[in-house]
Amino acid sequence: MKNKIFRGTPASPSIAIGKSFVYSPKQMVLSSMVEKKDITEELALFEKARNMALKQLRNLKVELKKASDPVSARLIDVQMLFLQDPLFLNSVEKRIRTGKESAEEAIVSFSESLEKDFKDIPNSYIAERYLDVKDIVERLLKNLKEEEPDGELGSHGDIVIAESFTASSVLQMSKAGVGGLIAEKGGRTSHFAILAEALNISAVVGANGVTEEVESGDEVIVDGISGVIVINPDEDTKRRFERKKEETNAIQKKFLEQKDLPATTIDGYSVDISANIELPIELPFIKKFGAKGVGLLRTEFLFLTSEDVPDEKEQYDFYLKVAESAYPDYVIMRTLDLGGDKVFKTKVQEENPFLGWRGVRFTLANEKIFEDQLRAMLKASAKGNVRILIPMVSQLEEIMRVKDMVEDIKIKLKKEDVAYDENIEIGAMVEIPSVPLMADFFSEVVDFFSIGTNDLTQYTLAVDRGNKNISSLFDQLDPSVIALMEMTVRKAHHKHKWVGICGDVAADVVAIPILIGMEMDELSLPPSFIPQIKNIIRGLSLKECKDLLEKAEKKRSASEVREFLKGEMLNRFPSLKNILVEVEND
């Protein structure tokens, strides 16, 4: 069948055309019969495998530095640090000493335990972090068994397709010169997507079902700009995408040259464009792509990678590093958005974690954990560029209790003669429809709002976008979601409070006019998409955006909204035909 279309999430904004290579990595399974040696020998085997892994990663880092790829080298640092983390080492060694497990059994049981911690987490980007641990575990197991790494990972120009990728597999594929990556799972924040972006490999993630419909050797187009995948394109489609590839390369070069220009409309309306990040290793992307600070710093990774709840100092060191790196621009730090089973590493599983004990619901019920995090954030705010964001808010009382806690902590810090920002701003995530509906009351107690359109869409439409049976119903431009966003901005501005967006819609080209029409104060998005979004904003006027918003609000479905906005954007920006190009199945 010609022109079979899949759509996913664009992760690395470039285009590649080539032969497909379906990648099925060999699964590392615990040997059915493990020959157990004595404890000393097993500890020595573990240490040998670990030292070998460190040597392999150091060699890979040297190669990356020779290739002038510092971002990828820093991601290797993350894996090397994990291999030297006392919590990891103590956990495996304890299993060998007290559980009398072999080195292989201890590593596998550690991995399985951690996998349970990551499983069923509503935040998809957090769940993706298990891939990094899995990558390290597989390297250790291969070293223990003295096995060679996976064989062929694709050849020059291939489009590699898999359920998911590890960071090390992407690096090896880069060395082989592959042209593109397509993953059924994962998101823009997964480390393999970050690597693909850094290595300039076209990538689309979240392409549900693609591995079932493609065979190695099929011709494939992967469009990391729009998220479109075409299997077995006809000649006309190939020519269109080849032309798109040439033209977009020139356009993106121009965008990057203008990255530091402000995001100001023709008639003078300005909006902050900031970056969503998770780790300090992503900070170079902020300056590289012209972001104004950090609009969303996720903090869950600290809790998921520790055997115990991270203490105040560990958190403070992390927050301070980010705040100092971003200074004088602001950093919006989101407090913990996990459930109790993940924080306490218990086996108790909630039946529906999406509607469960997570976010502010959990932290308010565990004041010591919450107080340590708030103290660490306040101490990191001394230079005045930190803001605190509270997730999973549904009731006014939750924010009022948080503010009371912050005031109590300020009093304690003052007595301890510890510096902090006395005027630190506290905001609420807009993820649950109750907040927009009550935004006039919330505006009396919060300093700002940040709209998480991913969750807001999920909770408004009752759609899990990870469920391929219903994922087609998930669209952040559904009229109901637009109405809730507009309601939030209108009510907040009436009380002189600012509103930002940190969901995927902020990087959606066709959505930009209506976000500007709502008079959003800030858009926070993946760094590599920032130059293009800023360029589009500079070509619009607030007046026309308001007109487009008014017309979009009268549409009856997300598809109608998208088609309308797509047509309007193509009229204003003919070059966007290269980004918004569509192709139909034969």
Domain check: are 137 and 166 in the same one?
Answer: no
Q: Which residue has the tokens 């935040």?
A: 123
* Residue after which a domain boundary falls, among 145, 169, 195: 145
- Backbone dihedral angles phi then psi of residue 332, each to the nearest 5 degrees: -95, 110
- Domain span at 202: 4-25+151-233
In this predicted structure, the answer to whether residue 459 has a pLDDT above a threshold of 70 is yes
pLDDT tens digits, 197-217:
777 899 999 888 898 889 999
Contacts 24+ apart (CB under 8 A), 457-462: 457/481, 457/503, 458/354, 459/431, 459/432, 459/433, 460/433, 460/484
pLDDT at 62: 79
As a residue count, the chain comes to: 586
Domain check: are 331 and 192 in the same one?
Answer: no
Q: In the β-sheet with 9-12, what is the strand arrangement from edge to edge?
A: 4-7, 228-231, 219-223, 15-22, 159-162, 180-183, 202-205, 9-12
pLDDT tens digits, 29-74:
545 445 566 888 899 999 999 999 999 888 877 776 666 555 566 6
Q: Is 502 a catalytic residue?
A: yes
Q: Which 3 state secondary structure label does DSSP give 315?
A: helix
* Helical spans, DSSP H, in 221-310: 235-257, 283-289, 300-304
Number of domains in the chain: 3
pLDDT at 341: 46
* Residue after which a domain boundary falls, among 192, 214, 233: 233
Q: Which 3 state secondary structure label does DSSP give 1?
A: coil
Domain check: are 188 and 307 in the same one?
Answer: no
Residue of 156, 494, 496, 502 with catalytic role: 502
User: Is the CB of residue 69 less than 8 Å from the CB of residue 126?
Assistant: no
* Helical spans, DSSP H, in 380-465: 396-415, 434-437, 439-442, 453-461
- Report yes or no on 111 lying in a domain: yes
For the ranges 281-295, 396-410, 433-447, the lowest mean pLDDT is seen at: 281-295
Residue of 191, 493, 494, 545 with catalytic role: 191
In this predicted structure, the answer to whether residue 90 has a pLDDT above a threshold of 80 is yes
C-alpha to C-alpha distance for 335 and 356, rounded to whole angstroms: 17
In this predicted structure, the answer to whether residue 531 has a pLDDT above a threshold of 70 is yes
pLDDT at 346: 46
pLDDT at 501: 97
Domain check: are 80 and 98 in the same one?
Answer: yes
pLDDT tens digits, 96-155:
988 678 898 888 888 877 666 655 554 455 555 666 677 788 889 888 887 665 556 778
| Alpha-carbon distance values, 437 to 395, 451, 460, 486, 502 (Å) | 11, 13, 12, 11, 19
Average pLDDT of the chain is 85
Domain check: are 400 and 518 in the same one?
Answer: yes
CATH number for 356: 3.20.20.60
Domain check: are 563 and 464 in the same one?
Answer: yes
CATH number for 92: 1.10.274.10
In this predicted structure, the answer to whether residue 583 has a pLDDT above a threshold of 70 is no
Percent of the chain scoring above 90 in pLDDT: 48
For the ranges 183-197, 316-330, 438-452, 551-565, the lowest mean pLDDT is seen at: 183-197
CATH number for 197: 3.50.30.10
- Amino acid at residue number 213: E
pLDDT at 33: 45
- Report yes or no on 246 lying in a domain: no
